[in-house]
Amino acid sequence: MAPAAIELKGINKSFGAVHANRDIHIEIPKGTIHGIIGENGAGKSTLMSILYGFYQADSGEIFVDSKKTEIKTPNDAIAAGIGMVHQHFMLVENFTVLENIILGAEGSQLLNAGIARARAELHRLEKDYGLEVDPDAVIEELAVGLQQRVEILKALYRGAEILILDEPTGVLTPAEADHLFRILRMLKDEGKTVVLITHKLREIMAVTDNVSVMRQGTIVATRKTAETTVEELAELMVGRRVLLHVEKGEPKPAEVKLSVKNLTVKDSRGVTMVSDVSFDVRAGEIVGIAGVAGNGQSELLETIAGIRKAISGSVLLDGRPIDVTGAADPGELRDRGLAHVPEDRHHVGLVLPFEENENAMLGYHDDAKFLNGPFLNIEAIRADAREKIQKYDIRPADCRLKTANFSGGNQQKIVLAREMEHDPGVLIVGQPTRGVDVGAIEFIHKQLIAMRDGGKAVLLVSVELDEIRSLSDRILVMFDGRVVGERGPDATEGELGLLMAGVEAREAAE
């Protein structure tokens, strides 16, 4: 085995009562791609932040190239040859690529010399690794994939020998992700060491040499990727057997519940986000909308839910129109049997400082069962919340706890329970499992299938292609505001990926 590029010994880190990292030992051989996989909150990001000097470990030692290294600040990490590509890009959006790359590594008090040097160096990196990007482009005008490339270039410009990537593919199309993996392999061939943090098993299998699995702050196993399976890793992550494939029967589509006709929506800047979109959703089926984030899915969902105005077009719910171009009222839509699980549960779906029981009925607070004359019936509300906690296995099972104190998965279950238990005819769901751990994903998927089998119409928007493919009975792909294709659930990932990237179906067939 190659000598270790990084060795961590006995790392411990606590935030208050939370023991985020517990006696971590890990050895990452030089010139390999090492995956670190685990559920949200397993401690992956904390561990990498310690390695990059963002936090300091309470105890433990870090060895870089077999030398004990004190990493107290990002500066120490950079000096030790460690670079990091953060999940949320650390870029100044109205700066050019060059300005972002030299920030913190300008070289001298005046900028001109540093910029000239960076331009030459960038040119070299571009040639060596195929990392092309216009050095004078302004970041906010670049596609997300290119922004990520700038982050990688930033690290390489600082002479990084060890590159840490934190959930790098969340914002990429499958094609962009493949390109990223090619770049990572190229970096590996050049002798660099890559650490890839992810919760996507598929990526681990596709690109890593070794993989460490984290669960509840500890490393539970390290395997050679070639000698393990997706099923084994999933079981290690969750600590029990997980059903990766959603089991579902044949759909029994019945009458049309939701009908969207020629819908066009513009955002606040006047940019067309949804352009002439038409489709139907029938009772007893799940229609999935696939697409890279930002191609109009969010706006489509919000318009149907009555919280965003359309420019033109119509939406029919049970054959009766929703006034989408005028004053559609989300409350009225709820009464008509349309339930909405919003994409952003923190800002739209929940009021985080409220108690769980308050969120569990928010929006339905005018229902007779929650009222006692003009007042809220607190007892009834809490009893109802306890019932939902039981049924949806929400943990901790305390309806008086502040909602902010629940994990992402449990928060999502609170929203789902609220919307599903109201027995809607139509359920529209955005990103049901974003930031949700594997165990909860399994549960949420089962619930959605149960809704379908109960004869409800479900419209699902997700950027997770796997999720769309395993749940949907029909898949619509959105690109640049338009529906560019419809496929069955048996469509291959490559086929959908091309559609998502805007390549026309005809070309895809060739």
By the criterion CB under 8 A, which residues form the site for other proteins?
15, 52, 54, 73-75, 78, 84, 86, 88, 90-95, 99-100, 102-106, 108-112, 114
Q: How far apart are CA 255 and CA 289, in angstroms?
A: 20
Shorter beta-carbon distance to other proteins: residue 270 or 373:
270
φ and ψ at residue 433, rounded to 5 degrees: -120, 20
**3-state secondary structure string, 226-254?**
HHCCHHHHHHHHHCCCCCCCCCCCCCCCC
Shorter beta-carbon distance to other proteins: residue 155 or 184:
155
Instruction: Give start and end residues of each alpha helix (H) in 427-504.
Output: 438-453, 465-471, 493-500
- Considering the complex, what minimum distance in angstroms separates the CB of residue 242 from other proteins? 27
Shorter beta-carbon distance to other proteins: residue 86 or 334:
86
- Considering the complex, what minimum distance in angstroms separates the CB of residue 75 from other proteins? 4
Shorter beta-carbon distance to other proteins: residue 268 or 379:
268
Q: Where are the beta strands (DSSP E) in 300-381?
A: 312-317, 320-322, 338-341, 371-372, 375-376
- Considering the complex, what minimum distance in angstroms separates the CB of residue 28 from other proteins? 21
Shorter beta-carbon distance to other proteins: residue 108 or 227:
108
Shorter beta-carbon distance to other proteins: residue 18 or 206:
18
What pairs with residue 476 in β-bridges?
Answer: 289, 486
Q: How far apart are CA 420 and CA 306, in angstroms?
A: 18
- Considering the complex, what minimum distance in angstroms separates the CB of residue 82 from other proteins? 11
Q: Do the Cβ atoms of 386 and 417 come closer than 8 Å?
A: no
- Considering the complex, what minimum distance in angstroms separates the CB of residue 93 from other proteins? 7
Angle at 154 between CA 153 and CA 158, to 5 degrees: 110
Give the Å distances, CA to CA, from 48 to 14, 70, 95, 167. Answer: 14, 14, 27, 12
Three-state DSSP at 185 gives helix
Shorter beta-carbon distance to other proteins: residue 111 or 376:
111
**3-state secondary structure string, 85-97?**
ECCCCCCCCCCEH
Q: Where are the beta strands (DSSP E) in 191-308?
A: 193-198, 210-215, 218-224, 256-266, 272-282, 285-290
Shorter beta-carbon distance to other proteins: residue 106 or 466:
106
- Considering the complex, what minimum distance in angstroms separates the CB of residue 83 from other proteins? 10
Shorter beta-carbon distance to other proteins: residue 100 or 228:
100
The first and second tokens of residue 201, run together, are 């098993």
Q: Tell me which H or E stretch contains 378.
A: helix 378-392
- Considering the complex, what minimum distance in angstroms separates the CB of residue 103 from other proteins? 5
- Considering the complex, what minimum distance in angstroms separates the CB of residue 68 from other proteins? 21
φ and ψ at residue 404, rounded to 5 degrees: -60, -20
Q: How far apart are CA 407 and CA 437, in angstroms?
A: 9
Shorter beta-carbon distance to other proteins: residue 39 or 358:
39
Q: How far apart are CA 265 and CA 313, in angstroms?
A: 9
Shorter beta-carbon distance to other proteins: residue 38 or 485:
38
- Considering the complex, what minimum distance in angstroms separates the CB of residue 407 from other proteins? 14
- Considering the complex, what minimum distance in angstroms separates the CB of residue 263 from other proteins? 28
**What order of strands is seen across the sheet that includes strand 482-487?**
338-341, 426-430, 457-461, 285-290, 474-479, 482-487
